[in-house]
């Protein structure tokens, strides 16, 4: 296990952490990365990668991801105060409608598990971009 515990004080710190964890210009699978952040806004050393995250969970299984996140939080030996998500997928361009749907889902998951959510990021083969909640509709690639 890595001892890398980035200090996530702002969006820039989070972007820098994601760049170290998932460097740009590498092939990307369809995955979801979950970072738990504790006291002092320090990330915990263990990240969780959910592989084969192709599509947003349908409404009838909407409890699965929040339940999974609760299990992750319960397994951490200290208090978790925040959560951060990174969606990765192959491709060269920024957010698509599917990416925006993922971001919306992830912000909702954070709310459902009562954790403050850092800005959701997207990493493709060439770009790493934030998908802030207030700006999602203006980010869609053509």
Q: How far is residue 141 from each of residues 88, 103, 110, 121, 129, measured CA to CA in Å? A: 16, 15, 25, 15, 12
pLDDT tens, 19-53? 988 776 677 889 999 999 999 999 998 899 999 99
Cα 11 to the center of its chain, rounded Å: 12
Taking residues 92-98, what's their average pLDDT? 89
Q: Bigger pLDDT: 140 or 127? A: 127
Q: What is the pLDDT of residue 62?
A: 80
Are residues 14 and 119 in contact, defined by beta-carbon separation less than 8 angstroms?
yes
CA distance 81 to 73: 10
Residue 28's φ and ψ, nearest 5 degrees, are -115, 135
Q: Which residue, among 7, 43, 5, 15, has the nearest Cα to 119 in the 3D structure?
A: 15
Whole-number pLDDT of residue 25: 67
Question: Residue 2: its pLDDT value, please?
Answer: 58
pLDDT digits (tens, 9 = 90+) for 96-137: 999 999 999 999 999 999 999 999 999 998 889 999 986 544
Task: Report residue 1's pLDDT band, with 50, 70 and 90 as the boundaries.
Answer: very low
Taking the alpha carbons at both ends of the chain, their separation in whole angstroms is: 40
Strand 80-88, strand 48-51: pairing: unpaired
Residue 96 has what pLDDT? 93
Q: Domains plus CATH for the chain? A: 11-136 (3.40.140.10)
Per-residue pLDDT tens over the stretch 51-74:
999 889 888 888 899 999 999 999
Q: Where are the beta strands (DSSP E) in the chain?
A: 31-38, 48-51, 80-88, 116-117, 120-123, 128-131
């Amino acid at each position: 296990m890595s001892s890398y515990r980035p200090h996530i004080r702002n969006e820039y710190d989070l972007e820098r952490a994601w760049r170290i964890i998932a460097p740009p210009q590498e092939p990307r699978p369809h995955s979801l990365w979950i970072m738990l952040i504790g006291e002092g806004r320090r990330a915990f050393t263990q990240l969780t990668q959910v592989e084969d995250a192709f599509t947003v969970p349908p409404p009838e299984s909407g409890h699965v991801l929040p339940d999974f996140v609760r299990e992750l939080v319960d397994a951490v030996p200290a208090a978790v105060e925040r959560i951060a998500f990174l969606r990765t997928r192959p491709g060269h361009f920024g957010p698509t409608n599917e990416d925006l749907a993922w971001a919306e889902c992830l912000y909702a998951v954070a709310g459902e598990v009562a954790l403050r959510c850092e800005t959701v990021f997207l990493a493709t083969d060439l770009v790493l971009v934030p998908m802030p909640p207030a700006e999602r509709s203006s980010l869609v690639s053509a």
